[in-house]
Amino acid sequence: MKTKYTIATSLVLASVLLACGQQAVTPTEHNKLVTFANSLEMLAPKSASTQVKQLNVAVDEIAQTIYLPLNLGTDLTAFDPEFILPTATQLQPVGPQDFSQGPVDYSFSQGTDIKTYRVFAQAVNNPIVEGYYADPEIIYSQKHAKYFLYPTSDGFHGWSGTHFETFSSTDLVEWRKEGTILDLTKDVSWANRNAWAPSAIEKRIDGQYKYFHYFTAAQKIGVAVADHPAGPFVDSGKPLIDFKPEGITWGQEIDPDVFTDPISGKSYLYWGNGYMAVAELNADMQSIKKSTIKVMTPDSTFREGVEVFFRNNKYYFLWSENDTREPGYRVRYATADSPLGPLTIPADNLVIEQDKVKQIFATGHNSVINKAGTDDWYIIYHRFNRPNGLVMGGDAGFHREVCIDKLVFNADGSIRQTKPTLEGLTY
């Protein structure tokens, strides 16, 4: 039976765990912490400001601090948190305050009882979209001169979501929700559960732009087609991958990644959990050449989430290590001179991992995008909800958020490890 506790309690637990330098506790320790947290008088007010990213507000009842992450563009010199006050509670100070020089102390009083919080306010851009999303795929549409983001719709226990959405942006900073593009319960005849980990591509066929959305459903891989990157997408009517490659007896048929080789013009589909497979796609982009199937699992660190891209005559293969429910979920990479390998794995091949100090955990299942017309590259990945991730246990793996940070290469083409940030990209 699960212990139930409030968000406020969760934040106290997070504070205690971080203070103790722990990532996990035993059931007995957990129950003691819950009892301790529930014994505290939870008076921390909520902010009603539309500028606040509500899912990421952090209240530390031990340190008496409140952290308010704000939307980019918020005027920090005159920001009003618009605290919602309990009955008969008085607030000082009131109205807009100057947060540009640092935190502001707020006192909340009821009669002779006074409680003071140091309130920090910061404009940040991670996560990049509001709500729970994971497994982000991103493309740049040449036709529309926009970026399109295709994530897993998250926040459902047991990864039980059944639909896919998309978002668009002209600058990778501000994102617009375009809506649902595919609903398994309405649009797919062969599966109605576990809508996971999509991939997408823009392809010019017979002079017309077409958009292909490869997706996981019921541990199989399907493909849907549209005339616009924001859909509507029409399912092909059958799974594209519903079998294991020869010699593979483990893992799942999930996490597709589509890649078109700029040298040969051939398109490939990569997939797999526990193993990594590839096959060349036919010209219709909706079927594979089964004779080309190849297993190319990098090493024992490979779990899932392959991502392939091309830069400076080199092919890069990124993948996720560990379980998405673990704080240590992270990304590694290899390189090759061909989209079919063989792979060269650098001695130091870590791309991104957790940052305990910043309370950023489970940074994995990424995609990569090149900013059009530049050599600027970015990694888009998911993380646990911040600040609640650590105390959610396995549920943290169902409450993930999409973030973006810059991907930097060394002079020899190797990838410099990315440090996950709260700020993300700014104007």
Task: Using alpha carbons, list the distances in angstroms from residue 264 to 97, 203, 308, 371, 385.
Answer: 59, 14, 15, 22, 41
Structure tokens at 38: 């529930």
Topology classification of domain 133-416: Tachylectin-2; Chain A (2.115.10)
CA distance 12 to 34: 9
Q: Give me the pLDDT at residue 33, please.
A: 52
Domain(s) labelled CATH 2.60.40.2340 in the chain stretch across: 7-123
Is 309 a residue whose pLDDT tops 90?
yes
Nearest Cα to Cα of residue 336 among 366, 368, 361, 311? 311
Residue 18 clears pLDDT 50, i.e. is over it: no
**Model confidence over 161-190: pLDDT tens digits?**
999 999 999 999 999 999 999 999 999 999
pLDDT of the residue at 40: 42
Q: What's the confidence (pLDDT) of residue 377?
A: 98
The mean pLDDT value of the chain amounts to 92
| 8 Å CB contact between 203 and 185 | no
Looking at residue 30, its pLDDT comes to 52
Banded pLDDT at 87 (limits 50, 70, 90): confident
- Asked if residue 134 has pLDDT above 70, the reply is yes
The answer, yes or no, to whether residue 331 has pLDDT greater than 70, is: yes
Judge whether residue 96 has pLDDT over 70.
Answer: yes
pLDDT category at 262 given cuts 50, 70, 90 is very high
State residue 25's pLDDT score.
Answer: 53
pLDDT at 31: 52
Split at pLDDT 50, 70, 90, the class of 110 is: confident
Residue 108 pLDDT > 70: yes
Q: Residue 358 above 50 pLDDT?
A: yes
Please, what's the b/e burial string for 60-80 (b: 16 or more CB within 10 A of its CB; e: otherwise)?
A: bbeeebbbbbbeeebeeeebe
Percent of the chain with pLDDT over 70: 90
> Which pLDDT score is estimated for 32?
52
Is the pLDDT score of 408 beyond 50? yes
Backbone angles phi, psi at 289, to 5 degrees: -90, 100
Q: Is the peptide bond before 93 cis (omega within 30 degrees of 0)?
A: yes
Domain 7-123 maps to which CATH number in 1.10.287.990, 3.40.30.10, 3.20.20.70, 2.60.40.2340?
A: 2.60.40.2340
Query: Which pLDDT does position 410 carry in this prediction?
Result: 98
Structure tokens at 353: 């991992």
Whether pLDDT at 37 is above 70: no
Averaged pLDDT for residues 342-365: 97
Nearest C-alpha neighbor of 305 from the set 240, 380, 375: 380
Ranges in the chain annotated CATH 2.115.10.20? 133-416
pLDDT at 111: 87
Which whole number is the average pLDDT over 68-89? Answer: 94
pLDDT band at 427 (very low <50, low <70, confident <90, very high): confident
